[in-house]
Structure 1
Amino acid sequence: MENLTTQGIALPRLGLGTFRMQGDVCRAAVESALALGYRHIDTAEMYANEEAIGAAIAASGVVRKDLHVTTKVWNENLAPEAMRRAFDKSLKKLRLDQVDLYLVHWPAPNMNLPAMFETLMKLKEEGRTRAIGVANFNIALLKTVVEEIRAPIACNQIEYHVMLDQTKVAKYLAAKSIPLVAYCPLAQGRAASDETLLAIGRKHGASAAQVALSWLLDQDGVAAIPKTSRRESQKANLDALKVKLDDDDRKKIAGLPKNRRCVSPGFAPAWD
C-alpha cells in the first residue's frame, strides 16, 4: 500500500471509512479489512462505533505501528475542555494509547480557532495523537488555520469524487503540501452505476467503482476512504489500485457532471 507522508506520519492512500457502521457489523467489517491488508481505519466520535473498532483492532493481531487510525471530534465539543474530554473518551473506546490523526470533524459558527488548535497541538505534544488535521474546511478557514495560526495540519478530509469538482480547495492544499482525504469517494454508490464509468471499466476489466477510485488515487496528494462492510467490496476497492487509466479515460471523466454533493448539513460552511 502506497503512503502519503504528512507531518511525520505515513498515511495509507486507501483506507476504510466506517460512517453508519456500528456494533457487530462494524467490528466484522474492520476485522475483514485488516485481514485483507487495509492499514488505515477512519472513524469519529459521532459515528458511535469506536468501541467496535477498538475490539476489532485488538482481535486482529496487527502490530500497532503498522496501523493508521484516524478519529474526529464532533463540532459540539470544540471548546478546549470539551475537546479533551471527547479525546479521552475516543482513546478509551479505541483501546489505544495514541491515535495517528485527530481531526476537527466539522467547523462550527462560534468556534474559537486559536483555542481549538492550541488544544490540538497540546494533545500532539503530549504524544496522544501523532498528528492533527481538519475535515470539511473551506479555503477561507484553511487559510486562517494554515497561514495565521500556522497549525501543522496533516490533511483536510472532504467529500471528493468523480461527480464533485473540488479543484479550488485541492489546488490550495497541494500548494501547501497538505493531503486531501476523500470521503464519499464513490458518490454514495452513484459512481457504481454511471454509464461513462461502466464503459471505461469494461475497457480495463474493472468495475465503475474501481474506475472512480483509481481516478482519485491517481492524483498526487489524494487518499480515499470508501465505506463498505462487505469483504468482496473491500477487496474490489483494494484492486482499484491496479487499474491504470489513460488520458482518454480522464477526458471522459472530466466530462461528467461535477455538482453532485452528497453531504451538506445545515451547519456546513460556505463551500468553495
Structure 2
Amino acid sequence: MDIPELGFGTYQMDERDECVDAVELAMEVGYEHVDTAQGYDNEEYVAEGLAGVDRDEVFLASKIDTDNLGFDDVLDSTHESAEKLQVDSIDLMYVHWPINTYDPDETLPALDELVDEGVIERVGLSNFRPDQLEEAIDTLDAPLYAHQVEMHPMLPQEELHEFAVEHDHQLVAYCPIARGQVADVEEIQAVAEKHEASAAQVSLAWLMQKENVTAIPKAASPDHIRENVGALELELDDEDVEKIDGIEERTRIVDFDEAPWNQV
C-alpha cells in the first residue's frame, strides 16, 4: 500500500502498556500508518499493538539510529528492527538523521541492498538539507520515497516541500501541531472556530491538503488519538488555507547545534 496521508507517531512512547494501548486504539479508530524508530526503544511494543491487525492494512515505518549508519550496521540493525516489528519486510525505513555515523557512500548502498533483499520496501530520509537530499538521490539506486521533517504552520518548509513535489517523494511532517503550540495562534483559532474543529485538526488538515504531504501526529491519550484522526473529515477552503499560509510566526521545536540546518 502507498503511504496514507495521516500516520500515528510513537515518539517518547517507551513504556510498554502506554505504547501498546495507544497503537491498538489508533488502529481501531482508523489510522493505517504507524511511525516508529530504533531510537524510540518501542519497536517491540508497536508490534504488540499491531498484533490483531492484518499486515496488509497498515503502513509501517521505522528509522535507523544515528549510531547504526555504517554499511554493516545498517544491515544488521534493520534486520533486528524487522524482527522486533514481527514483519518480513518494513514498508519504509528512514535514515533518522544525517549525523554521527552517516556516510552517504556506506549508508545509502546498504539501504539499496536491503531493498534488493526485500527486508525493506522503500527508502526514506529524515532531517536532511536540500543539498544532502540531492546527494542522496544521486547515490541511491532505489528511488527516494519519503523525507520526514518537522513541519507545521509555523515551520511550513516551503523549500523542502517544493523539492518533494519536484522529485516526487512524500514529505512526512513530524511535530505537525508544534506540540500543541498551534492552539495559541490567532489565525488557526479563527479557522478552528469557523469549522467547529480543534486547532490540532486544523493544522493537520492544512498539511494533508498540500501536495505530497503526510502528517504523523503523536498522541498518547485516547481523546487526542480520536481528535487527531478527525482531521481526515475536515476540509479547509481556499480562504482558510490562505489565512494559515499567511502566518508570519516561525518556530522550530526540534533544534540542536549538530542539526544539519545549523551546519551551513
TM-score, shorter chain, exceeding 0.5: yes
In the alignment, which residue of structure 1 is the partner of 2:44? 51
Q: Distance in 1 between matches of 2:239 and 2:119?
A: 46
Kindly provide the amino acid, as one letter, of the partner of residue 33 in structure 1: A
Stretches of structure 1 lacking an aligned partner (at least 5 in a row): 1-8
Name the residue aligned to 2:137.
Answer: 146
TM superposition shift of 1:111: 2.8
Mean Cα displacement is larger for which, 142-151 or 152-161?
142-151
> Residue 160 of structure 2: which of 146, 154, 169 is its match?
169
Is residue 21 of structure 1 aligned with residue 13 of structure 2?
yes
Secondary structure at 2:3 match in 1? strand
Greater mean deviation of Cα atoms: 209-218 or 248-257? 248-257
CA distance in 2, matches of 1:109, 1:67: 31
Q: CA deviation at 1:109?
A: 5.5
Amino acid in the other structure paired with 2:220:
S
RMSD in angstroms over aligned alpha carbons? 1.6
Deviations 1:178-227 (A, max 9, x none): 11000000001101232321221111111111111111001010000000
When residues 166 and 258 of structure 1 are mapped into structure 2, their CA distance, relative to the original with a 3 A threshold, is: farther
- Shift, 1:153, TM fit: 1.2
**SS of 1:77 mapped into structure 2:** coil
Letter in 2 for 1:167: E
- Report what 1:92 is aligned to: 83
Q: Whole-Å Cα distance in 1 between the matches of residues 30 and 176 of structure 2? A: 19
Which position in structure 1 is the counterpart of 2:29? 36
Amino acid at match of 2:43: E
User: Which moved further from structure 2: 254-263 or 113-122?
Assistant: 254-263
Contact 1:164 1:260 in 2 (8 A): yes
Kept in 2, the 8 Å contact 1:138–1:270? The answer is yes
- 2:72 is aligned to 81
Over residues 154-183 of structure 1, what are the superposed CA-to-partner deviations in whole Å (9 max), with x where a residue is unaligned?
A: 100000000113111111111011110000
CA contact (8 A) 2:112 2:141 kept: no
Structure 1 residue 110: Cα displacement:
5.5
- 1:194 pairs with 2:202: no
Q: 1:259 to 1:151 in 2, by over 3 A?
A: farther
Secondary structure of 1:143's match? Answer: helix
Q: How far has the Cα of 1:149 moved from its partner?
A: 4.2
Which residue in the other structure is 1:266 paired with? Answer: 257
The DSSP-based 3-state class of the residue aligned with 2:2 is strand
Aligned to 2:105: 114
Q: Aligned-pair distance for 1:148?
A: 4.7
- Equivalent of 2:224 in 215, 233, 240: 233
**C-alpha deviation, 1:151, in angstroms:** 4.2
SS of 1:12 mapped into structure 2: coil
Distance (whole Å) between structure 2 residues aligned to residue 86 and residue 39 of structure 1: 25
Cα deviation 1:37-68 (Å, max 9, x = unaligned):
2110000000011111111111xx21111111
Task: Name the structure 2 match of 1:3.
Answer: none
* 1:73-128 residue CA offsets vs partner (Å, 9 max, x unmatched): 01111001111221122112112211100110000166320221111011111111
Q: Provide the TM-score with structure 1 as the length reference.
A: 0.92
* Native 8 Å contact 2:112 2:140 kept in 1: no
What residue in structure 1 maps to residue 54 of structure 2?
A: 63
The separation in 1 between residues aligned to 2:161 and 2:187, in whole angstroms, is 24
Aligned position for 1:208 = 199
**CA–CA separation in structure 1 for the residues paired with 2:242 and 2:252:** 21
Tell me the matched-pair count: 262
**What's the CA shift for 1:232?**
1.9
1:11 is aligned to 2:3: yes
